[in-house]
Structure 1
């Protein structure tokens, strides 16, 4: 994993700057690592992380990834597990919402 001066980016712009690297920081929360792999078009790595995460955020990321994959049945199941409804926004808009939510989170 890459080493960054900050353990995690604080803004979407700082997050996007890290996409120039070969891997996310291992000090980042798993949710942020998941989105980093998704942004790098590595669905499998992102899915592997989301699938192992426990709780609503993991379920929400898992849902987003299945929605992106085109698997509506699994996506709807995971959204329900997260306590969310199937979104009516674009995948890009959902990604931005997830990124902002995770960046704003105080969880490690």
Structure 2
């Protein structure tokens, strides 16, 4: 899947088959923060922890976000949320 295909999939009512971190991004893009959080809140995978950090940053909980950035081995993001979303998406899609 390409980033363009991912974005096109957002027009659908239901998500395509995606890994939990990608599904979290999909749900977040659809405005379902709680559903997105549930996709990654118990995962010990580095990519899921990065998405988890992004989600807490989006909600404005920077302390919690900082914890998850550290767990993911990444510095806390400071740029626009949309830019971070696209960066994560690109990495997850390989």
Q: Deviations over 1:48-68 (max 9, x none)?
A: 111022221111111000000
TM-score, normalised to structure 2, is 0.94
2:2 to 6, 11, 19: 11
Q: Deviations over 1:25-79 (max 9, x none)?
A: 2x32111111100110100000011102222111111100000000011000000
2:54 to 64, 73, 85: 64
Q: How many residues align?
A: 94
Show structure 2 runs of 5+ residues with no match. Answer: none
Q: Which residue of 2 aligns with 1:24?
A: 15
SS in 1 for 2:78: coil
Runs of 4+ in structure 1 deviating by more than 3 angstroms, as ranges, are none
Distance (whole Å) between structure 1 residues aligned to residue 74 and residue 18 of structure 2: 24
Show structure 1 runs of 5+ residues with no match. Answer: 1-9
Q: Which residue of 1 aligns with 2:37?
A: 47
**2:87 maps to 1:90:** no
Distance (whole Å) between structure 1 residues aligned to residue 62 and residue 12 of structure 2: 32
- Considering only aligned residues, what root-mean-square deviation do their CA atoms show, in Å? 0.9
